[in-house]
Amino acid sequence: MQALDPRAVTTVEEFVVLLRRVRDRSGLSYRTIAKRAELAGAVLPASTLATMLTRRTLPRRELVSAVLAACEVPPGAIRHWLDVWGRLAERADDASADEEDGGAAIGPVPFQLPPPPPALVGRGAELDLLAAGLAEPPGAWLLTGAGGVGKSALAVLSAHRAGGRYPGGCLYVDLRGASAEGAPSEPYDVLLGFLRALGVRMAPGTVDEASALFRSITADRAMLVVLDNAGSAAQVRPLLPSGPRSTTLVTSRWRLPDLDVTGRLAVEPLPAAGGRALLAHLCGAGRVTAEAAAAADIVRLCGGSPLALRIVGARAASRQVPGTLGVLAQHLGDDARHLDALEVGDLSVRAGLRVGYRSLVDVDATAATLFRLAAVPDWIELSVDACAVMLDAPAVTVDRALDLLIDAHLVEGTAPGRFRYHDSVRIFARELAAASDPADAQLAARSRLVSVMFSAAAGAARTLFPHDTLPYGELGATPQRLIRADATTAEAWQWLELERVNLRMLAGQELAAGNCLPAIRDLGVAVAKYLDYAGHFVDQARLGQIAIDAARRLGDRSGTAQALNMLAIAMLRHERRGEGIALLDQALVIRRELGDRAGEAACLNNLGNAHRDDGDLDAALGCLQQSLALRKELSDRYKTGSALDNIGIVLRRMGRYQEALDHHRAGLAITRELDDRLREALVLTNLAETEHLAGQPRQALGHAEQALSISRELHHDRGRGLALQVMGDVWTTLGQPARGRACHDEAAELLHEPAIGAPTPIAG
């Protein structure tokens, strides 16, 4: 505990109060202090000590020194006390006060803080920040954060540590702004309690009179006031002291933007390391080390919430059985058991969330409805416009509701107009929806969202690849305002970057429910090329399998072949070539049985690329030449350009550089003729790589730089990475290895993509 420092004291009254607190902290009786003083050669009867610590007058210097020494205050600190004594003695009218003087007893000096938490793990930075703020009164600090994040513990521990700086007393109140028990505290009632604690027995008639009296009484005191669990700025304002030596700590789960404060501290969930340290403190470091993977899962599934981790730690501590953490992690990972696993005794994450939600219902019905229904669809991050579609409400109304949800820490803002739930909150919101909203209302909201999201995806794909004939069907039929019809390529790309995970999760949820199967099948095909160009191979694989399942349920062999092709490409991108080639062979059989010449050409093109990457260049060239012939036969000029470029890559690997260059340039001419900027950047990169190997580094550098410029313009990170990779090779060849390394390093960051991980789903 922080030592009591007298150097901030400015009055005799404060000096006596702080000296009395030294004695209180020592735990020594007056008689014991008197005996210790006698042994040290001082005369300090117990009765004299008791009297001097209840007066307004300044005790004699030798008595102060004797008390401090008896209470084992270090000599250096005693010198500080005596320096302050000397300063006060010079200003006092009566500097020779002793135990016989008849001074009046001082009023009560309250110290209402609840006991400090026994441990506060992972909050060193926050404690340091508050310590600095409390060291420089006056001021008011606001701590905000979600329920259970540890705001109150931080405030109380910080107040205890700083208590020695506030000899005028410490006041504390739980304002019950977020409480399951009763209504929030009325400021008038709180003020009456504060005034009684300060020795005032009169009861002012109004809250304004009580507030004015409170400010008057505390004006000359160095006081610390802790207003815990505030519900609103209006509740807090009358309770703020205004003296120059007072400080207030306020905690609230609402952000209270209309409260004027000296500083704000957003108390965030613990990071992974802090969460693990807290769990180790609660149930034992050895158990956390022994079940490291389960412990990491628990911290993640608890979202770093100290309350949730405290509950899990308590449950684990009561079950000293190996494997307990693993079982608890499994329960937390099961939506049906998640919130039940976060209850122990009177601690409950569900109860805390219910308090926040009930307060929201009283403020804004739309926000409450949004909170419930937005949790029904499977998506990772929500946008205002998409939620407006789901609720069939104006975007401005939903935007206001979103602000309230963020203000109440029920959701987390991730970017302007976008937000997300923590897992525990989403599960709680789904419980509320199941209890409050009819099943058909939930289904209608979800259906509106899915139709519009899928339609917007079709619009974005059509903007990116206007020359591709995609099976839009039902996919693009729903009017939507999520992406403009005249959106630029960069805007369409950015929209898909933001929504790709949401699209995949929504498709999976609808597939499981057996809904909108044609749209799910077509969605996979529509976004496959974007996912491939962007390098999102994991999403490409997962959405490909979803599309396969949807097509199979529909009995659609052509759709199955298209989806097999999508999944195969994802496998090939992760060098799982055997699996990819097997999937493409299945798709090719279906295409030929259906007499689908365009589909056959597409399969042959992809098989050629697969055999190329597998090292079978002759098979690769044969497949690609067959694909080129079919595309010319079908007068598909766009796909002809793609086949020419792919043949160029194979010829380059065969060492037939001039032929390769001719094919790349022919493909580039077609791509530019059709004004496909995305494809142009990729062809330029392939051309540059071949030029480099053909001994034309300057030409290669120029084309790679063109590719990089286009990719930057279109926000195409994978295109940038591929171009930078070639530029790094060229700069190294040109004798500038430092520039080469810089390009390679940047390319590595852009091209990083996690492994797919799971084995290839059964496709056929």
Structure letter (DSSP) for residue 334? S
CATH architecture of the domain covering 124-266: 3-Layer(aba) Sandwich (3.40)
Q: How far is CA 136 from CA 123, 140, 228, 617, 645, in A?
A: 21, 11, 21, 75, 69
- 677-751 CATH choice from 1.25.40.10, 1.10.10.1100, 3.10.100.10, 3.30.70.2390: 1.25.40.10
pLDDT of residue 676: 87
For residue 5, the SS3 value is coil
pLDDT of residue 648: 95
pLDDT of residue 474: 67
Question: Which residue matches tokens 């080390």?
Answer: 289
pTM for this predicted structure:
0.75
What residues in the chain have per-residue pLDDT under 50? 93-106, 755-764
DSSP 476-530: G-S---SS-TT--HHHHHHHHHHHHHHHHHHHHHHHHHT--HHHHHHHHHHHHHH
pLDDT of residue 289: 92
What is the tens place of the pLDDT at every residue in 509-530? Answer: 999 999 989 999 999 889 998 9
Tokens read off for 329: 């992690």
> Helix axis angle, 384-391 relative to 439-464, nearest 10°?
140
Domain residues of the chain, as ranges? 6-91, 124-266, 272-345, 350-437, 446-647, 677-751
Q: How many CB atoms lie within 10 A of CB 485?
A: 9
Looking at CATH, the fold of the domain delimited by 446-647 is given as: 1.25.40
> CA nearest 523: which of 283, 509, 592?
509
Given CATH 3.20.20.105, say whether it is the number of domain 350-437.
no
Q: Could you check whether 446-647 and 677-751 share the same CATH topology?
A: yes
